Chains A and B, each alone.
Chain A
Amino acid sequence: MATVAERAPGSGRWPSLVPYVVLALGTLPIALLYAWLLYSSFFLRVEGFTPIGPFTLENWRFLWDPLSVPELRNRPPIIPLTINTFIFATVTSLVGVLISSMAGYAFSRLRFKGRRMMLGGVLLLHSFPSVTLLIALFVVLRTLGLYDKLAGVILVQTAFALPFGIWIMKGFFDNVPWDLEMSALVDGAGRLRTWWRIMLPLVKPGLLALTVLLFVEGWNQFLLPFVFMPSGSQQTLSTLVRGILGEGRFVDYGLLTAVGLYYIAPVLALFVFAQDQLMRIYAGGVKG
């Protein structure tokens, strides 16, 4: 305590660097791996961290000439796969946000029977590992005729996203003062209009952040499409990456890194554009 108090302003530059150095050293392996991912996609071979041979776009030829890539020959073309993945991520996130915002509002504002129990149930579901439900879900999807269909996986993914979404949205609604809602009611609005005109605009940061998070979660989802869409016509990019990795004895790392980069690029872009929104999901709250 005394040392902090006695240190003159400006004289203590070095000690303040220590945490940064420690953290940088800790992060270095991860950063190196991403760097490796990046440059090994532009060389035919990489031994350790040393690229072999000249710079090439050969690994990226799946984009313009997919038939020349042996690993992709028996698989659906990459563009429809990308569109599939996009549909999957977009629909799950939009439907998830819509339902979460309605349920979150109800949990935050309405006092109905069984509210506490249902809230507890939502938390419990959130901490439930989805793997344990695979068999049951398989039966459900078969019965509904949605097995091996994109719609079925969308349904399951949305359901898994809901507990988190509901909990987050409830938190945002909790932060909106009651007065605003009472005021809207006195001003002549009904419940639904109050929700739409007053409450939703005030939790917009939460809606945006949740949309991004659920989109990314959908985009990255591997297990559900892999298990519930085995035939491949409606696969997503994550199953493709896994397919390249698992095909045959020889893995083409150049191709793998290129496809991998292609796969994570939208997520990276989204994070760059939406990081302000994402920060708020943990800060919470409405700015008056």
Chain B
Amino acid sequence: MRVALRGLTKKFGEVVGVHELDLEIRSGEFVALLGPSGCGKTTTLLMVAGIYRPTSGQIFFGDRRIDHLLPKERGIGMVFQSYALYPHMTVAENIGFPLELRRSVSNEERERRVREAAALVQVDALLDRRPAQLSGGQQQRVALARALVKRPDILLLDEPLSNLDARLRHEMRGEIKRLQKEVGITAIFVTHDQLEALTMADRVALMRDGVLQAYATPTELYARPVNQFVAEFIGTPPMNFFAADLAPRNGSLVARTEGIELALPAGPRGAKAPPTATVGIRPEHLAIVAPGQGEASGEVYVVEPMGREQIVDVQVGERRLRVIAPPGFVAKIGERVGLRFAPEQLHLFDPASGARLA
């Protein structure tokens, strides 16, 4: 089922929760609503679910406008952050609850479908337990089964992994992604964790202060962020930024600031370049080289070994740049090093608006 949001706006009194949101979700697509807390992502989800009434704008499921319908009339299944399992019911009763409310489903059919849904998420051995007797991961699976048992057109997930420990989170990440493709259901999930969004979603809608910042595939978001906020939010450790003066040289552009001089492979296209820009480069696109080599030089500020790699902070003049170094790299604090920039991985942003320049 295709989902379309048109000019969707939600105000809480004078506070704008979501502002003029336009979003198209293809049938069978898995879309993440990503953003820092208070960005309006959960509000958006609750409007799609029918819990919140939009202040203005429209929501379409397929060709049908549904924003005036009650939650129960929308054909959605939802998994809540807290899972919201009914504590007084067994697992089987929890999963069966959505069917219990449908006259057309007989008791036998309900039992059969509860067992099917439970088997799909591997909780069929737990049907007689109560939610309090389940682990967090099991509760999560039961919540998924309950959301899927009535065969909804759209699956909504609100921070589905945030209540799990790191290990389980990794496991469920893959599990939910596989399940979504297996069932072939259109799904929207809300998360504040960019790693979750990048790993699970087909497309990511990044929001800030109720406004959509970017809507693209994880690869595009990472490789070509449309503005500085997106560049900052996507990727760990976050991208390095510094202000630089732009000057033409030999037909191309040079970005220059204290301790750094970079030749830009392709300057901002179109009209003439602005005099200054915010330059961004990801830690993985910087390499530590011998002092005197590379485009910048500085001193090692701190080294954080992570096993597979190390994060090295290098003090360059006034600023500190974060670099990913191979595990074999050894350096003392204060040691002088050079930095090499991968030239094709530079991002330029307008210092005032944050919009992408090139």
Contacts and interface: CB of A to CB of B under 8 A. Distances in A.
Interface of A: 177, 179-180, 182-190, 193, 197-198, 201-202, 204, 286-288
Contact of B87 (A188, A193, A288): A288
A237 to B, nearest CB: 37
A115 to B, nearest CB: 16
B86 A180 contact: yes
Contacts of B97: 184, 187, 189, 197
A179 B84 contact: yes
A188 B51 contact: no
Contact of B88 (A187, A193, A201): A201
Contacts of A198: 86
22 contacts: A177-B84, A182-B49, A182-B51, A182-B80, A182-B84, A183-B80, A183-B84, A183-B86, A184-B97, A185-B72, A186-B71, A186-B76, A186-B77, A188-B71, A188-B72, A189-B97, A190-B70, A197-B97, A198-B86, A201-B88, A202-B87, A288-B131
Given A182-B51, A287-B87, A187 B80 contact: no
Contacts of B76: 186
Given A180-B84, A286-B87, A186 B101 contact: no
B132 interface: yes
A185 B88 contact: no
B72 A189 contact: yes
Interface string B189-211: 00000000000000000000000
B49 A188 contact: no
A284 B46 CA distance: 29
Given A177-B82, A182-B80, A288-B131, A190 B72 contact: yes
A44 to B, nearest CB: 55
The dominant DSSP class at the A interface is: helix
B84 A185 contact: no
Nearest to B80: A179
A235 to B, nearest CB: 42
Given A184-B97, A188-B71, A201-B88, 13 more contacts: A177-B82, A179-B80, A179-B81, A185-B50, A185-B72, A187-B72, A187-B150, A188-B72, A189-B97, A202-B87, A204-B88, A287-B87, A288-B87
A288 B132 contact: yes
Interface residues of B, number: 26
B98 interface: yes
B102 A188 contact: yes
Contacts of B82: 177, 179
Nearest to B158: A179
A184 B77 CA distance: 11
B115 interface: no
B262 interface: no
Contacts of A182: 46, 49, 51, 71, 78, 80, 84
A202 B132 CA distance: 13
B146 interface: yes
Interface string B82-102: 101011100000000110011
The 6 closest A-B pairs by CB, nearest first: A183-B84, A179-B84, A188-B72, A188-B101, A187-B98, A201-B88
Contacts of A197: 97
A199 to B, nearest CB: 10
Contacts of B77: 186
A44 B76 CA distance: 76
Given A193-B101, A288-B131, A288-B132, A186 B78 contact: yes
Nearest to B98: A187
Contacts of A202: 86-88
A188 B150 CA distance: 10
B75 to A, nearest CB: 10
Contact of B101 (A187, A201, A204): A187
Contacts of B72: 185-190
A204 B46 CA distance: 29
Contacts of B156: 186
A185 B80 contact: no
B51 A185 contact: yes
Find the residue from A179, A188, A193, A201 having the highest chain B CB count within 10 A.
A188
Nearest to A177: B82
Contact of B98 (A180, A188, A201, A288): A188
